[in-house]
Amino acid sequence: MTDLIPLNYFLGISITRTPSGMFLSKKKYESEIIERADIVGCNSSRTPIDIGTKLTTTGPPVKNPNLYRSLAGALQYLTFIRPDISYAIQQICLFMHDPREPHMAAL
């Protein structure tokens, strides 16, 4: 197999070549998730989820469960390099079979 072009972006990883080596980043992948979730203008939080409250199965169903599942799966992929969000994403993934509006808000 031959490499036809220099690798720039693969599996959500952005590759930047420098004279001293390569720099790998998931910043572009993270910003794509934020754009898909339509939360570009939202403020960040130090803790991704409140561990004192638990999500329940009550509330109206989400309008687009496929979007919920897609975003949850994309965030689950990020947990490989961002273990700080693992607990929050695990809580979100518990409701992938029947997502409700409070779950989407937590997502």
Query: pTM for the full model?
Result: 0.76
Residue 71 pLDDT: 93
Residue 10 pLDDT: 84
Contact between residue 19 and residue 30 where contact means Cβ atoms under 8 Å apart: no
Flag whether pLDDT at 3 surpasses 70. no
Count of beta carbons in the 10 Å neighbourhood of residue 67: 16
pLDDT by residue (tens digit) across 29-85? 888 888 998 888 888 777 667 777 788 888 999 999 999 999 999 999 888 888 888
Structural domain spans, the chain: 9-106
Residue 88 pLDDT: 86
pLDDT by residue (tens digit) across 8-22? 888 888 888 889 988
Q: How far is CA 43 from CA 46, 56, 99, in A?
A: 10, 25, 24
